[in-house]
C-alpha cells in the first residue's frame, strides 16, 4: 500500500471486485480459477492476490459488495409517492432481470454453495435490516406503516429475483397482482386522502 493513498487503494479494490464479479457472472463460478478470471478481466494474478488472500476471499467479498450495490440501485428507483407506486412495481421486475439477471444467478450459485452458505446467511440478515430501513423511508412517502410495507417489499424482491433467475412471467405477474391488491387496501386504510388519485 506504500505507493497508494488509502482512497486509491480502496478504489482499486472496488474496481477489482466489480470486474471480477462480472467476470464470474460471464464465465460461471465453478471451474473458474484465479488465472482464468484474471486473464478475462485484464489483470495479472499478482494484482488480485495483492487485495485478496485467495479465490474464496475474492468470491465472498465481491459478492457481498456487488449485491449490496444492486440493492442500493433498487432502492434508488423507489416510488416517490402513492401515485408513483404502479410505475415502480410494473418496471422493477424487468429492470432487475435486464440489468442484474447475471449477478443474481451468480449470487445464488455462491450463497447456496456449502462453502459459502454461512456468508449467505449473514448477507441476507443484513438485507433484512436494510429493507426494513427502506420500508421506514417509504412510510413517509406512502402513508403506510413500515411494519406493513416490509413484508410487501420482500414479496416484491422475491418476484423480481425469481423473474431474473428464470424469466417466469406467470409467477412474477401473479405475485405482482397480489401485491397491488394488498397495497390498494393499505392505501385505502392508512392514506384515504390518496384514494381518489390511486388507480390500478
pLDDT tens for 155-190 read: 999 999 999 999 999 999 999 999 999 999 999 999
In this prediction, what percent of the chain has a pLDDT beyond 70? 96
When pLDDT is averaged across residues 99-110 and rounded to a whole number, the result is: 96
Confidence of residue 2 (pLDDT cuts 50, 70, 90): low
What does pTM read for this prediction?
A: 0.91
Query: Backbone dihedral region of 32: left (phi > 0), alpha (psi from -120 to 50 degrees) or beta?
Result: beta
31 pLDDT exceeds 60? yes
199 pLDDT exceeds 80? no
Q: What is the DSSP secondary structure assignment for residue 112, as one 8-state letter?
A: T
Mean pLDDT over all residues of the chain? 93
- What pLDDT digit, counting tens, does each position of 116-147 carry? 999 999 999 999 999 999 999 999 999 999 99
pLDDT score recorded for residue 1: 54
Q: What span, in angstroms and rounded, lies between the C-alpha atoms of 8 and 82?
A: 42
CB atoms near residue 167 (< 10 Å): 12
- Of 199, 114, 186, the C-alpha closest to 152 is 186
- What pLDDT digit, counting tens, does each position of 60-86 carry? 999 999 999 999 999 999 999 998 999
When pLDDT is averaged across residues 98-102 and rounded to a whole number, the result is: 96
Q: Give yes or no for a contact between 135 and 145, defined as CB atoms under 8 angstroms apart.
A: no
Distance of CA 65 to the CA centre of its chain: 10
CB atoms near residue 135 (< 10 Å): 21
pLDDT higher at 2 or 140: 140
Q: Give yes or no for a contact between 167 and 107, defined as CB atoms under 8 angstroms apart.
A: no
Strand runs (DSSP E) across the chain, as ranges? none
Q: What span, in angstroms and rounded, lies between the C-alpha atoms of 194 and 73?
A: 27
In this prediction, what percent of the chain has a pLDDT beyond 90? 92
Confidence of residue 98 (pLDDT cuts 50, 70, 90): very high
Written as nine digits, the cell of 103 is 449477478
- What pLDDT digit, counting tens, does each position of 141-158 carry? 999 999 999 999 999 999
Going 65 to 70 to 71 to 72, the CA torsion angle's sign is positive
CA distances from 121 to 49, 118, 124, 167 (A): 26, 5, 5, 25
Amino acid at each position: 500500500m506504500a505507493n497508494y493513498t488509502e482512497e486509491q487503494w480502496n478504489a482499486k479494490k472496488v474496481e477489482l471486485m466489480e470486474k471480477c464479479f462480472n467476470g464470474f457472472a460471464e464465465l460461471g463460478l465453478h471451474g473458474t480459477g484465479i488465472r482464468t478470471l484474471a486473464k478475462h478481466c485484464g489483470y495479472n494474478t499478482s494484482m488480485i492476490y495483492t487485495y485478496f488472500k485467495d479465490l474464496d476471499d475474492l468470491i465472498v467479498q465481491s459478492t457481498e459488495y456487488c449485491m449490496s450495490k444492486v440493492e442500493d440501485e433498487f432502492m434508488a428507483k423507489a416510488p416517490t409517492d402513492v401515485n408513483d407506486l404502479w410505475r415502480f412495481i410494473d418496471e422493477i421486475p424487468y429492470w432487475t432481470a435486464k440489468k442484474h439477471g447475471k449477478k443474481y444467478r451468480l449470487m445464488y450459485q455462491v450463497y447456496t454453495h456449502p462453502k459459502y452458505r454461512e456468508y449467505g446467511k449473514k448477507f441476507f440478515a443484513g438485507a433484512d435490516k436494510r429493507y426494513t430501513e427502506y420500508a421506514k423511508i417509504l412510510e413517509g412517502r406512502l402513508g403506510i406503516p413500515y411494519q406493513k410495507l416490509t413484508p410487501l417489499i420482500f414479496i416484491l424482491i422475491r418476484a423480481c429475483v425469481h423473474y431474473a433467475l428464470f424469466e417466469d412471467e406467470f409467477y412474477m405477474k401473479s405475485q405482482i397482482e397480489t401485491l397491488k391488491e394488498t397495497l390498494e387496501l393499505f392505501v385505502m386504510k392508512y392514506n384515504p386522502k390518496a384514494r381518489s388519485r390511486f388507480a390500478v
